[in-house]
């Protein structure tokens, strides 16, 4: 089906719990995609991926092409798409269990190599789809079916982890501030290089954080000047700053590794290929 | 001393003494003589010290394996002398490093330690002695030796030349016979199995190679990294094998032809993604270059214990293509063919090989003109038709379309409908299973038209083997007094029962390098072939042709 006949939001039945923070997130993505389309970044050159969890269902709810990946691997999947054709704009959706636990290594190295991808994490502080177990970002004492006596770990701070992995764009958003989140997503996609949008996503069923977030969330005026200051912002607990915490332009992976090339668009034809192989064979004589 | 069918040269020493390089130079020397050669490098999983050797067997006919009955041995240290003394053929010559071993009754001592001391890299340069000994013993003059050193040792050539000539003169004084190898008519190239399979894939239009280092697959990554501009295959070395496999699946969405490579441990990490490729119908070619397991096992040696592992990759049911080359040359054409097959059938493929083929080098001639100039077609969607990624078709193959596109193209790891939306609907779940199974049936029809089983020699008894062991069996039969035919299934999944049925009930012999007889079990299960004898080897070393010949004779007589 053609995008012209398809709204950004699909007609697939939405099965998120009423009141789930994912609805606001979906709405922001929808608005962001429309904005991007208006700016010439159409769905024809856009691909998405998603992990497995409540968050992943966004893949079905969006009419954007791509590959619905497996748990924790969407950040690797999406890099494959980008590296194969750097002209595409790519976005991956993950959960906190998925992106910060199961697949954290891919995320850290995507930031390290500055792959030009946007990672949106539905951070709801639990493994929702598997019935609310503790996750890497669950607060200490979090009670779930795998931690009935309360989680003993301090949560990881994903923003700090990614900042210290040299991520060039680190942002936090909140679906309760939908317009703000929309703008963040647009900025993240347009940023050339790795971008992370960590979304404070209340899960009404297993971890209802609306009240807390409504009280603590505060829109940042502007990003921190230095990475160090950004880390300080990320570590604040008295208030939760949202917005772009840090932004830095850096050379992106594909331009560092193959500045001119595009593996799927600039191919050698069969004859050139065989000639290249023949040359190497001749060197082995 | 002329007209020996096979002449074998061996150089042994510590890691870091240039042993492998000397083996390659010897191979090059044989190639210059128009001879055929097979080079096997035996090395340990360490960087300095230990014991390494490189053994090169050469003949004027095609030669399929190295031998361990050695005509000329160069030992760079005492340990090498201890290990290889017993490998010396009758009438063979053995040289040793008298600075390390002291003067001995057997063999010819050379004060290599003292001589090398004068040079800037006294360890590394020792390997050049191996080349000089070979040249002197083969009756080459100094000019030819210099040319060879210049060609093979471009780095630090001045010192290498000076040391080489010094050793040559010393040897010349001490020997009273030369081998004088007959010249052959071959105009070959030398390739390792990994080089061969990589170039075959490149010739087939590979766009990307993604890998994480693991012996014996690492050199594939090195090749693509080293020839990035020439071959225009993008090499990527990510954080781990899970990243490798998932990037590869992602890369197929915009249409990149991608191959990944690893050994058993790495494929185990990738396995969830093999299944993902099956479900999403992502054409990824996985190279499994096997080594002795389980676990870390014996990393730099050879074994065929991953046959079952390859055949059973991935949870759930989906078409999986598994094939294994029986020669370095076949590796070239097979990777090329498998790349086409995985694309035509939009499903993962496993190119199974072992260290013995991956890393051994052989003279061979690759005729690029013999590549089919009409490759299997990838089914592409018509421009203006309504697009469905998983459209049901008669042959089970859905047309592909790549972005940028005006159409919604959704690939999905969940069970999905034709559009690629997730589904749990019973009917659709069943239909999609049927679709993938139909694809497998179409694949079988295709394979029936292809060469899926190789046969060599003629004879009443049938010897089944596969992968790198095919090379050992072919060489062994040159020395066995038996009439036997070798049957090597190249494709292992779908298993070519249609080709093998004729052997049902026969008293077959099976030769394989594992301890449980996995190929024998497969033949029994799939074709009701009851092997009379299963000749197995599982010490990490490839079969020695004459030893294998004796075992085959014993099994058949
Ligand atoms: C390899 C693997 N392990 C476990 C699972 C089961 N699983 C599905 S979703 C999930 C956790 C989901 O948590 P999160 O990623 O935070 O997403 P959420 O549901 O909270 O949005 C798990 C463990 C799986 N699908 N794959
Ligand atoms: S379980 Fe939580 S995250 Fe999942 S849909 Fe319900 S509210 Fe949202």
User: At B412, phi and psi to the nearest 5?
Assistant: -145, 130
Q: In this structure, is the dihedral angle defined by the CA atoms of residues B399, B405, B407 and B412, taken in order, positive or negative?
A: positive
Pair of tokens at residue B152: 């093979």
Q: List pLDDT tens digits, range B190-207.
A: 999 999 999 999 999 999
Q: List pLDDT tens digits, range B526-553.
A: 999 989 999 999 999 999 999 999 999 9
Alpha carbon distance A60, B263 (integer Å): 36
- Ramachandran area for residue A275 (φ above 0: left; ψ -120 to 50: alpha; else beta): alpha
Alpha carbon distance B318, A166 (integer Å): 40
Which range is least confidently modeled, A146-155, B11-20, B497-506? B497-506
Alpha carbon distance A13, B77 (integer Å): 74
User: At B362, phi and psi to the nearest 5?
Assistant: -140, 150
The per-residue pLDDT for B121 is 94
> Which CATH homologous superfamily contains domain A3-260?
Thiamin diphosphate (ThDP)-binding fold, Pyr/PP domains (3.40.50.970)
Alpha carbon distance B347, B253 (integer Å): 13
Average pLDDT over residues A215-238: 98
Residues paired with B41 in a beta bridge: B54
Average pLDDT over residues A14-29: 98
The per-residue pLDDT for A1 is 83
Q: Is residue B262 reached through a cis peptide bond, with omega within 30 degrees of 0 on the bond before it? A: no
Alpha carbon distance A52, A48 (integer Å): 14
Q: List pLDDT tens digits, range A37-75.
A: 999 999 999 999 999 999 999 999 999 999 999 999 999
Q: Is the CB of A127 under 6 A from ligand 2?
A: no
User: Which of residues 39 through 78 in chain A touch B, CB cutoff 8 A?
Assistant: 43-47, 49, 52, 57, 59-60, 63-70, 73, 76-78
CB atoms within 10 A of CB A148: 7
CB atoms within 10 A of CB B221: 24
The per-residue pLDDT for B2 is 42
Give this complex's ipTM: 0.98
The per-residue pLDDT for A114 is 98
A173 CA to centre of ligand 2 in angstroms: 18
pLDDT above 70 for B405: yes
| Structural domain boundaries in chain A | 3-260
Q: List pLDDT tens digits, range B1-49.
A: 445 899 999 999 999 999 999 999 999 999 999 999 999 999 998 888 8
A80 chain-B contacts, CB cut-off 8 A: 210, 246-253, 256, 258
Q: List pLDDT tens digits, range B93-143.
A: 999 999 998 999 899 999 999 999 999 999 999 999 999 999 999 999 999
| A9: helix, strand or coil | strand
pLDDT above 60 for A246: yes
Q: List pLDDT tens digits, range B345-366.
A: 999 999 999 999 999 999 999 9
Percent of chain B at pLDDT above 90?
A: 93
Average pLDDT over residues B493-522: 94
pLDDT band at B506 (very low <50, low <70, confident <90, very high): confident
Minimal Cβ distance to A80: which of B250, B368, B407: B250
Q: Do residues B449 and B417 lie in contact, with contact meaning Cβ atoms separated by under 8 Å?
A: no
Nearest CA to ligand 1 atom 24: A71
The per-residue pLDDT for B504 is 86
Q: List pLDDT tens digits, range B283-341.
A: 999 999 999 999 999 999 999 999 999 999 999 999 999 999 999 999 999 999 999 99
pLDDT above 80 for B435: yes
Q: Is residue B59 reached through a cis peptide bond, with omega within 30 degrees of 0 on the bond before it? A: no
- Closest atom of ligand 2 to A55 CA is 3
Q: How many A-B residue pairs are in contact by the CB < 8 A criterion?
A: 204
Q: Is the CB of A206 under 6 A from ligand 2?
A: yes
Q: Is the CB of A88 under 6 A from ligand 2?
A: no
How many angstroms separate the CA of residue B84 from the nearest CA in chain A? 30
Alpha carbon distance B79, B65 (integer Å): 25
Average pLDDT over residues B387-396: 98
The per-residue pLDDT for B373 is 80
C-alpha pair distances (Å), B429 with each of A65, A195, B426? 22, 37, 5
B29 chain-A contacts, CB cut-off 8 A: none
Minimal Cβ distance to B272: which of A68, A70, A273: A70
Minimal Cβ distance to A280: which of B188, B230, B240: B230
Structural domains of chain B ordered from first start: 6-174 (3.40.920.10), 190-369 (3.40.50.970), 453-556 (3.40.50.920)
Q: List pLDDT tens digits, range B411-433.
A: 999 999 999 999 999 999 999 99
pTM of this prediction exceeds 0.95:
yes
Q: What angle do CA B78, B80, B84 make, to 5 degrees?
A: 125
What residue of B is the nearest CA neighbor of A281? B189
Q: Do residues B303 and B263 lie in contact, with contact meaning Cβ atoms separated by under 8 Å?
A: no
Q: List pLDDT tens digits, range A263-280.
A: 999 999 999 999 999 999
């Amino acid at each position: 089906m053609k995008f012209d006949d398809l709204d950004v939001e699909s007609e697939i039945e939405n099965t998120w719990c009423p009141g789930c923070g994912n609805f606001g997130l979906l709405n922001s993505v929808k608005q962001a995609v429309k904005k991007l389309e208006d700016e010439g970044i159409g769905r024809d050159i856009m691909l998405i991926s998603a992990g497995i969890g409540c968050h992943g269902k966004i893949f079905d709810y969006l009419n954007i092409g791509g590959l619905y990946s497996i748990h924790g691997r969407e950040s690797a999947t999406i890099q494959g798409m980008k590296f194969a054709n750097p002209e595409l704009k790519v976005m991956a959706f993950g959960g906190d269990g998925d992106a910060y636990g199961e697949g954290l290594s891919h995320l850290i190295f995507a930031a390290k190599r500055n792959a030009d991808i946007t990672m949106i994490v539905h951070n709801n502080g639990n493994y929702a789809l598997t019935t609310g177990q503790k996750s890497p970002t669950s607060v200490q004492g979090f009670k779930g079916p795998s931690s009935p006596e309360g989680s003993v770990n301090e949560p990881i701070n994903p923003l700090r982890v990614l900042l210290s992995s040299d991520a060039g764009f680190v942002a936090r958003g909140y679906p309760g501030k939908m317009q703000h989140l929309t703008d963040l997503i647009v900025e993240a996609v347009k940023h050339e290089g790795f971008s992370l949008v960590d979304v404070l996503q209340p899960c009404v069923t297993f971890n209802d954080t609306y009240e807390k977030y409504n009280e603590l969330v505060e829109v940042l005026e502007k990003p921190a000047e230095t990475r160090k200051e950004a880390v300080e912002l990320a570590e604040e607990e008295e208030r939760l700053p949202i917005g772009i915490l840090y932004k830095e332009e850096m050379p992106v992976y594909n331009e560092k590794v193959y500045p001119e090339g595009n593996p799927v668009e600039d191919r050698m034809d069969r004859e050139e290929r065989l000639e290249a192989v023949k040359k190497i064979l001749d060197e082995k004589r | 001393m002329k007209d020996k069918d096979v002449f074998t040269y061996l150089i042994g020493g510590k890691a870091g003494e240039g042993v492998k390089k000397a083996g390659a130079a010897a191979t090059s020397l044989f190639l210059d003589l128009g001879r055929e050669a097979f080079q096997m490098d035996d090395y340990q999983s360490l960087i300095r010290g230990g014991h390494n050797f490189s053994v090169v067997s050469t003949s004027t006919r095609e030669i399929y394996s190295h031998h361990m009955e050695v005509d000329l041995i160069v030992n760079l240290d005492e340990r090498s002398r201890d290990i290889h003394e017993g490998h010396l053929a009758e009438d063979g010559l053995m040289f040793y490093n008298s600075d390390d071993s002291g003067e001995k009754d057997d063999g010819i001592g050379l004060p290599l330690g003292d001589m090398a001391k004068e040079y800037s890299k006294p360890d590394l340069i020792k390997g050049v002695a191996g080349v000089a000994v070979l040249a002197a013993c083969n009756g080459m003059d100094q000019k030819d030796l210099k040319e060879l050193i210049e060609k093979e040792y471009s780095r630090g050539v001045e010192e290498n030349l000076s040391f080489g000539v010094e050793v040559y003169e010393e040897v010349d004084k001490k020997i009273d016979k030369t081998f004088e190898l007959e010249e052959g008519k071959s105009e070959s190239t030398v390739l390792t199995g990994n080089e061969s399979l990589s170039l075959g894939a490149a010739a087939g239009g590979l766009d990307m190679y993604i890998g994480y280092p693991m012996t014996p697959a690492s050199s594939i990554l090195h090749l693509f990294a080293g020839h990035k501009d020439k071959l225009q295959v993008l090499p990527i070395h990510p954080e781990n094998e899970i990243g490798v496999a998932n990037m590869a699946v992602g890369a197929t969405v915009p249409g990149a032809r991608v191959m990944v490579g690893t050994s058993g441990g790495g494929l185990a990490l990738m396995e969830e993604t093999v299944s993902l490729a099956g479900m999403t119908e992502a054409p990824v070619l996985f190279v499994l270059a096997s080594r002795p397991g389980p676990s870390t096992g014996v990393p730099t040696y050879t074994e065929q214990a991953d046959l079952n592992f390859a055949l059973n990759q991935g949870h759930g049911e989906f078409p999986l293509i598994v094939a294994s080359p029986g020669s370095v040359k076949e590796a070239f054409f097979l990777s090329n063919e498998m790349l086409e097959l995985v694309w035509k059938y939009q499903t993962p493929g496993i190119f199974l090989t072992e260290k013995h083929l991956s890393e051994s080098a052989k003279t061979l001639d690759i005729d690029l003109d013999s590549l089919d100039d009409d490759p299997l077609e990838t089914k592409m969607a018509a421009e203006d038709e309504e697009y469905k990624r998983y459209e049901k078709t008669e042959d089970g193959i859905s047309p592909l379309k790549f972005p940028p596109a005006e159409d919604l193209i959704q690939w999905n790891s969940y069970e999905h409908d034709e559009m690629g939306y997730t589904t749990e609907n019973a009917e659709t779940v069943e239909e999609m299973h049927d679709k993938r199974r139909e694809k497998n049936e179409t694949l079988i029809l295709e394979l029936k038209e292809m060469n899926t089983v190789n046969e060599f020699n003629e004879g009443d008894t049938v010897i089944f083997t596969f992968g790198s062991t095919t090379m050992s069996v072919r060489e062994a039969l040159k020395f066995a007094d038996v009439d036997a035919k070798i049957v090597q299934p190249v494709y292992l999944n779908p298993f070519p029962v249609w080709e093998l049925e004729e052997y049902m009930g026969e008293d077959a012999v099976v030769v394989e390098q594992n301890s449980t007889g996995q190929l024998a079990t497969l033949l029994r299960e799939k074709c009701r072939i009851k092997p009379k004898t299963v000749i197995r080897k599982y010490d990490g070393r490839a079969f020695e042709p004459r030893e294998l010949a004796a075992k085959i004779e014993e099994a058949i007589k």
